[in-house]
Amino acid sequence: MNKISNLFTRHFRNFHFIFIILTIVVLFAGEKMINPFLNQAVATVFYSPFSKMKNSFLELKSVSEDNALLSQALIDVSMKISFYEEASLENERLRTILGFHPPQNYTLEPAKVISISGEYTPITATINKGSNDSIWIDQPVINQQGLVGRVSSVSPDFSVVQLLTDPSNRVAARVVASREMGIVKYNTNSGMYLDNFPIQGDIAVNDKIISSGLGGVYPAGLTVGTVTEVIKEELEPFYKVKILPASNFYSLEEIFILREIIIE
């Protein structure tokens, strides 16, 4: 007995290696292949446990594949829902635009905003129309809310629009109610305001501000914004007039270039 024990101890690694080989053969070969070499008892001892392991592994693999397919299907459905929601919103915007009419003696050239630039505030917008579409510099740009800016540069297929939020942009404007005038400007810190409006003038909160037509770029009557605050400082000859812009420059999508009708 001791001899058998010593023999097993000395050759333990060999027995262990043989056991591993048999295990692998049994696991992947199947019962049909081992029956010619092993009797039924050995087949039961070796094959049955590993057969169950193999079946469990295959079941887990199948479940994993099903989960992957379900995840992909869920992603596809989510993308379709997002697409239909966006299409619905675009449809609503276009329906609103259909009832929008240009100023007198102007036609509308629709365009899409493809990018907006500006570090903190939108300053310029690139649109998908250019000189091939008869777009040129200084044409006014609007949307259904009001004045957006002017075309500042043009290439064959694209143009850049200088927005009213660019501090270097200026709009000669007037108060609708009193017809008195000032200059609309934009400050990065304080927002849009009406400059050079004298304290003798007539202006109040909620007054509508429109373009005056002076300056040769913007036609008269385009909505610029609404007065939100009128501040009178002591010894100052002008009011500080803050304006809420009519257009939301953070959500520009469809815009229109105003093309003047040339009457010969």
pLDDT band at 98 (very low <50, low <70, confident <90, very high): very low
CA gap 261, 156 in Å, rounded: 22
State yes or no: pLDDT of 104 exceeds 80: no
Residue 72 or residue 178, greater confidence: 178
> Which tokens hold the place of 155?
């290439």
The contacts of residue 241 (CB under 8 Å, 6+ apart) are: 182, 193, 194, 197, 203, 227, 229, 230, 231
Q: Amino acid identity, residue 79? A: M
Give the chain's mean pLDDT: 79
State yes or no: pLDDT of 37 exceeds 80: no
State yes or no: pLDDT of 58 exceeds 60: yes
In the chain, the domains with their CATH numbers are 1-99 (no CATH), 106-260 (2.40.10.340)
CA gap 77, 68 in Å, rounded: 14
Segment 192-224, tens digit of pLDDT? 999 999 999 999 999 999 999 998 899 999 999
pTM of the model: 0.63
Residue 236's pLDDT is 84
Q: Which residues pair with 117 in a beta bridge?
A: 124
Q: How many helices (H) and strands (E) does the chain have?
A: 4, 12
Tell me which residue of 152, 143, 77 sits closest to 113, measured CA to CA: 143
Q: Amino acid identity, residue 252? A: L
